[in-house]
């Protein structure tokens, strides 16, 4: 690909061009020049966009796609096209497909499908066979085939011995083990955060302690075994405190939170809109404040879109019966950029690569072009027409966002968000 990008503000704190507005020349997919007013001597295609900023390509480590098995929700290639238009050049793909991604052949199948896209995918293998929680899956074999971590999506590890064995088993290979913090026996049939709102609506609650007690257990096991533990999508203030203390003890733990839990509280459930039924549930304003502080001080390592497409038959139900989940790729940057500064948002969107040993390029001459193109200042109301996913179950519909993604340059291809 040959392209001349005009007047782009570089946001890359590792680059010598950070905070400068410059032209960028790409030849054969490689950055060949960065300077003011580059002469287009070979008549390359030029790209000039309003208030254009450019950063390293973004990464979201927790994305679901329907394929294989649930193509009515979405398929892999469309999900990757959505990701490219939403600013992402690499994704972690969750194993909740049919069949579950619990074998090396299934990891290889996903990667072969994605070879037709300009997005790099990094499958997360199921921790247990068929994600039933009974027996460890083929972890090391999946790792050899390209899986970057192992966990059963939105399912807790009920047997603590399995977590102990997994941490020990992967200790030398340094693979992160995911443990979703959710004690089922403390929230039977719960659908929203346990509190005033659940009482007011007459809905069964999911108490904060059901998350926190699992985190304490898992950290105790980690301290005993060593290895790498990742706790996905924490949602309570106390969870942040527990993990902060664990990190101060130098335990090898990372964690994430969902953009949903940073942006919305359980008060948003008052109208029974099932797009607000997510797991973990939306918590209190106090929890949101603690999560935002946790992101800023580094206690929370990652923020994810928690992109989970669900067809209308699974969401257009009574609140009790609807499935948990929301799509999030298309709205992710606009929501994140509304909560944090643009530089902080870009740091959040790129720092996850280091945790999973994924190369994070620097914007410099001679480097492969792996960019996200965006306007950080554009305010707009997120509407259904902004959704490119097949499923439309977005928690952000009719929400005011800040920052619009133009597209990506990755693997020698330009993708523009029309």
241-266 pLDDT, tens digit per residue, is 999 999 999 999 999 999 999 999 99
Give pLDDT tens digits for 61-89.
Answer: 999 999 999 999 999 999 999 999 999 99
CATH architecture classification, 57-355 = Alpha-Beta Barrel (3.20)
* Res 395 pLDDT > 90: yes
> For 155-160, which contacts have Cβ atoms below 8 Å and span 24 or more sequence positions?
155/131, 155/180, 155/182, 156/180, 156/181, 156/182, 156/183, 156/184, 156/214, 157/127, 157/133, 157/218, 158/133, 158/184, 159/133, 159/134, 160/217, 160/221
What is the model's pLDDT at position 273? 97
| 60 in active site | no
Q: Which of 96, 102, 266, 306 is catalytic?
A: 306
Outline where DSSP puts E strands in 210-338.
228-231, 253-258, 302-304
pLDDT higher than threshold 90 for residue 41: no
Max intra-chain CA distance, the chain? 69
Alpha carbon separation from 296 to 299, 300, 333, 346 (Å, rounded): 8, 8, 16, 13
pLDDT value for 131: 98
Q: Which of 138, 54, 109, 146 is nearest to 367 (CA)?
A: 54
- pTM value? 0.96
- Mean pLDDT within 36-45: 93
What's the pLDDT at 212?
98
Domain limits of the chain?
3-54+363-380+400-416, 57-355
CATH topology of domain 3-54+363-380+400-416: Urease, subunit C; domain 1 (2.30.40)
Residue 418 has pLDDT above 90, yes or no: no
Q: What is the pLDDT of residue 204?
A: 97
* CA 391/CA 159 separation, integer angstroms: 34
Task: Write down the pLDDT at residue 164.
Answer: 98
- The angle subtended at Cα 62 by Cα 61 and Cα 65, nearest 5°, is 125
Neighbours of 223 (CB within 10 A): 14
**Tokens for 375?**
């306007």
Structure tokens at 51: 């208030």
Average pLDDT over residues 45-57: 97
Residues forming a β-bridge with 239: none
Closest CA to 257 of 302, 213, 217: 302
Q: pLDDT digits over 121-158, tens only? A: 999 999 999 999 999 999 999 999 999 999 999 999 99
How high is the pLDDT of residue 237?
Answer: 98
Residue 230: what pLDDT? 98
pLDDT in tens, 332-364: 999 999 999 999 999 999 999 999 999 988 999
């Amino acid at each position: 690909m040959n392209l001349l990008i005009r007047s782009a503000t570089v946001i890359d704190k590792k680059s010598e061009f950070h905070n400068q507005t410059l032209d960028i020349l790409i030849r054969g997919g490689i950055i060949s020049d960065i300077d003011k007013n580059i002469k287009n001597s070979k008549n390359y295609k030029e790209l000039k966009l309003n208030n254009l900023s450019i950063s390293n390509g973004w990464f979201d480590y927790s994305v679901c796609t329907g394929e294989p098995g649930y193509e009515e929700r979405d398929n892999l290639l469309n999900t990757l096209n959505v990701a490219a238009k939403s600013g992402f050049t690499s994704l972690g793909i969750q194993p909740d497909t049919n069949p579950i991604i619990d074998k090396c052949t299934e990891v290889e199948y996903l990667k072969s499908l994605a070879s037709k896209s300009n997005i790099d995918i990094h499958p997360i293998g199921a921790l247990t066979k068929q994600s039933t929680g009974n027996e460890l899956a083929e972890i090391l074999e999946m790792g050899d085939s390209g899986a970057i971590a192992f966990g059963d999506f939105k399912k807790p590890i009920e047997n603590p011995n399995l977590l102990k064995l997994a941490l020990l088993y992967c200790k030398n290979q340094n693979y992160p083990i995911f443990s979703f913090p959710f004690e089922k026996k403390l929230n039977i049939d719960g659908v929203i955060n346990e509190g005033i709102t659940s009482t007011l609506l007459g809905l069964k609650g999911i108490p904060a302690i059901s998350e926190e007690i699992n985190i304490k257990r898992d950290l105790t096991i980690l301290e005993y075994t060593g290895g790498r533990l990742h706790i996905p999508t924490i949602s309570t203030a106390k969870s942040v405190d527990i993990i902060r203390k664990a990190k101060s003890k130098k335990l090898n733990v990372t964690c994430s939170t969902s953009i949903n839990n940073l942006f919305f509280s359980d008060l948003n459930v008052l109208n029974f809109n099932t797009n607000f039924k997510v797991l973990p549930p939306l918590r209190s304003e106090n929890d949101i404040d603690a999560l935002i502080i946790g992101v800023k001080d580094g206690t929370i390592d990652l923020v994810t879109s928690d992109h989970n497409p669900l067809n209308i038959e699974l969401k257009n139900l009574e609140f009790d019966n609807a499935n948990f989940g929301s799509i999030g790729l298309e709205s992710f940057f606009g929501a994140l950029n509304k909560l944090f500064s643009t530089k902080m948002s870009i740091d959040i969107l790129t720092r996850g690569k280091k945790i999973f040993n994924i190369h994070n390029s620097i914007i410099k001459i001679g480097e492969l072009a792996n960019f996200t193109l965006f306007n950080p200042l554009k305010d707009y109301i997120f509407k259904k027409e902004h959704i490119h996913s097949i499923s439309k179950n977005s928690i952000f519909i009719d929400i005011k966002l800040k920052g619009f993604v133009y597209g990506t340059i990755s693997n020698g291809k330009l993708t523009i968000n029309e």
